[in-house]
Amino acid sequence: MSGTTILLLYLGMAAVTYLARRAFLRLPGNFFSPRLKNGLAFIPIGIFAGLIFPSLFVQEGSLVWQPVFLMASVVCLAAMAWTRNVFVSFGSGLALVVVISLFS
């Protein structure tokens, strides 16, 4: 990918991010209905699910079963529940995968 394409990509990403941050920074709080706010608050759940599940179950366009990744995912979530620390969770899940790939 060329440098110009990358720059255009960044500018596009920056523009939509800025739009979201700036848009309502000067609006009265009763502008949105509670329903709409709740809908907006749910969007990240869908986005994260859309990122996580295909990476666990799809590879090169077909369904796959990857027990090591699934086990590591459980470790990540358990570490989050236990420590509430993103770095401990990220580190322990990833460490499990790295250790297993080193010894297999």
Footprint of another protein on residues 6-45 (CB under 8 A)?
Answer: 6-14, 16-29, 31-32, 34-45
Instruction: Note whether 97 binds another protein by CB under 8 A.
Output: yes
Instruction: Note whether 5 binds another protein by CB under 8 A.
Output: yes
Instruction: In whole angstroms, give the CA distance from residue 104 to residue 99.
Output: 9
Number of residues that bind another protein (CB under 8 A): 76
Contacts of 58 (CB under 8 A, 6+ apart): 64
| In the complex, least distance from residue 50 CB atom to another protein, rounded to whole angstroms | 3
| In the complex, least distance from residue 61 CB atom to another protein, rounded to whole angstroms | 6
φ/ψ of 60, rounded to 5, equals 50, 45
Which of 3, 4, 65, 67 binds another protein (CB under 8 A)? It is 3
Instruction: Note whether 65 binds another protein by CB under 8 A.
Output: no
Distance, first Cα to last Cα, the chain: 35
Instruction: In whole angstroms, give the CA distance from residue 79 to residue 18.
Output: 33
| In the complex, least distance from residue 3 CB atom to another protein, rounded to whole angstroms | 8
Contact in structure between 73 and 48 (CB atoms under 8 Å): no
Instruction: Note whether 57 binds another protein by CB under 8 A.
Output: yes
